[in-house]
Amino acid sequence: MKGLDSFNLDLKQCLCELEEFENLLNSNSELKENKDILPFFKQRLHLSAFIGLYVPQIIRFNQIKHEFTFYGDFRADLVVGDSINNTYCFIEFEDATEDSIFLHKGRSTSDWSPRFEHGFSQIIDWFWKIDDFKSTTSARSIFGSENIEFYGILVIGRDAFISPIDKARLTWRLNKVLVDSRKVICITFDQLARDIRDRLSLYPLIFEAESRAEQVISTDESDRSSS
């Protein structure tokens, strides 16, 4: 079984790939997992790696793998990790279509979609497999440690297809249902694009603040030396 690949995140390249992602969403009302979504992300490693932003312990985004196989039984569409903090997120992509999360059958309450249930169940199986193999030589050879923190992310659906009441149902389910005491993060593709855009927008502010701080320190040191 292949391990993860080392990776160096480039924020400028990530921004370029984000713009391509936004264009993809704007030009298509629906997207299919195998036809549209998986090929798109496999060709955009920096955007893929930055999905790890949802996990606070993932700071370096320095490990990545598309189509990661779990000990021969299961496969994650994407894994992103921080090898220093021993923290990883396992990502499942599903369709971005009208019936990806809910099925509308003319009743007042929509049914949960088989597509959503399949994606959620995939993550449950991943968690079981990781826990089952956590103290093995195989686990240490892949992650470098038998004590890793791990999270599951399900990316599915589009905002336009979810009514306010169904959005509330989805939020309640994700907040209340835990898998091995862990929440499963579930986001639409639209939310993913917005969150990445918002996070990237913070970096210029950070760099600007650091520059101002350096200027203040330099000025103070000059004043002290002149006096």
What pTM does this model have?
0.87
Q: Mean pLDDT score of the chain, rounded to an integer?
A: 88
Helix axes 11-27, 189-226, angle to 10 degrees: 150
Here the tokens at position 26 are 């704007």
Q: Which residues of the chain have pLDDT under 70?
A: 1-2, 205-227
Q: How far apart are CA 91 and CA 94, in angstroms?
A: 10
Whose tokens are 């449950």? That residue is 124
Q: 185: closest CA among 83, 51, 20, 4?
A: 51
pLDDT in tens, 137-170: 777 778 877 788 999 999 999 999 999 999 999 9
CB atoms within 10 A of CB 179: 14
Long-range contact set of residues 195-203: C-beta below 8 Å, sequence gap at least 24? 195/53, 195/54, 196/14, 196/18, 196/21, 196/47, 196/50, 196/51, 196/53, 197/18, 197/22, 199/50, 199/53, 200/11, 200/14, 200/15, 200/18, 200/50, 203/11
Here the tokens at position 173 are 């389910």
Here the tokens at position 58 are 């993932």
Q: How far apart are CA 108 and CA 165, in angstroms?
A: 10
Give the pLDDT confidence score for residue 126 in this predicted structure. 92
pLDDT in tens, 62-77: 999 999 987 777 899 9
Give the pLDDT confidence score for residue 49 in this predicted structure. 98
What secondary structure letter does DSSP report for 86?
T
Here the tokens at position 213 are 């701080």
CB atoms within 10 A of CB 46: 20
Close Cβ partners of 38 (under 8 Å, ≥ 6 residues apart): 66, 77, 93
Pairing of the two strands 149-155 and 182-187: parallel
Give the pLDDT confidence score for residue 1 in this predicted structure. 44
